Structure 1
Amino acid sequence: MTAFHFGDRQRRLFGFYEPAREDFTKVQAALLCHPMGNEQVFAYRTMRQLATRLVRAGFHVLRFDYFGTGDSYGDTGEGSFEGWCGDIETAIEELKDISGATKVDMIGLRLGANLSAQVAQQNPDEIDRLILWEPLAAGALARAARECSTDQVNVGPEMLRSDIAEYLARSSISGKAALLPPRTLLLLTEQPPSPVEFGSLAAEYIADTPAWIEERLTTGSIPAEALQRIVGWLQ
């Protein structure tokens, strides 16, 4: 595993790259797009375990911190939806350059799923397969933003800046589902009490512990069945 910074001088990003354990005829590369804030902290072990499993399955894997988060450059308040989408595009090019892949697979969790969907819609020639793992629903975001009287919106266990929540609500996955890659998996680990608003995308439900919710003092649980399904779907 190699830890390094990449991107241009004004927007340096921090990432971990792991090459495939075995040589396969086809070069496969997977980009992991994290959630944000506390959800990223709680899901850290899960995303690392997912990377390990993908590497063993023959994938070159890159996981990284968005600008203004983690060990990447920038302050927390400098983050934006458009900027983070640009960070994913930078990570795609970096992963292709390191691995030699012509396209990449993307797995996005929570807010990372919404960002991944937006990037996939705008860069169809760069993405082979896409997994949207528990993305934030536009309807819930819109309602939360309308009812919020501060600059922070409560989205489940996480808080989002109201401007980002509003942008997410406008850039809904459901409204542009037809523009996503033909091979797209929408994965939910808990079946919601009401229909999920993701347009023509059919959700696959796997009963498992959410990786992004704190269960112990500092970490969330690893949803083994969900990880097995993700790796199996990509093979």
Structure 2
Amino acid sequence: MKKFIGVLLIIGLFFLVTSPLKVHGDGPDAFLIVTNPSEDTSKEMNIAWHTNILGTFVEYTIKEDSGFTSSNRVLGECQAITYYDEGIKADITDYKCDATLTNLTSDTEYIYRVGKTNFSSTYGFTTSGTSAFTFMYFSDVHVYLPIPSRYNSAQKLINVIESKYRNLKFVVTGGDMTAYGTVRDDWKSYYSLSMFSKYMIASTPGNHEYCDRSAEIYADSRKYFD
């Protein structure tokens, strides 16, 4: 019996040593994904995201090509960044990535996803045209996980606006979207609002984006949104 247990332990150690370790988990390769305006949003769009692995890219196509059968790919330009997460009281190192989609058609709906092997869900945006447009202005959400009503109220407001204005083109945010700019999970919660997967977001940071839980300015938190 002892010999049998010993054999099992040896086999277990063999698989532990020889099996590759997943350093980025089993979720999507990319997170904190956002569509930002370029210099000319009629033919270009900027995409930004965070990741734990190298080699992630944006795969994009027109909205009608929902299966991404005729898609294009743009490799992200990434750099390693380290920033403090006050939620776990430790430094975190990610890759912050950017990609510019070019040669787009004006006044056209596009979809995209980000990743390398484990792709994100599908995101979308509309390039600008020459006709009249409607946009959403959003401010002072103060997302804070211990008070979920803040996030829930923000999402309900987005739903109401979308029900009244069917042709929204983009979103402008006026700052103070998180309660504290140093808590990573608050940022992840904020970025999970449905508007991020549908529209181009033009953001202006507020003082809360730069503040920690002691209301002290912590400029390093700009790495969440810059």
Q: What TM-score, normalized to structure 1?
A: 0.24
Of structures 1 and 2, the larger Rg is shown by: 2
TM-score using structure 2 length: 0.24
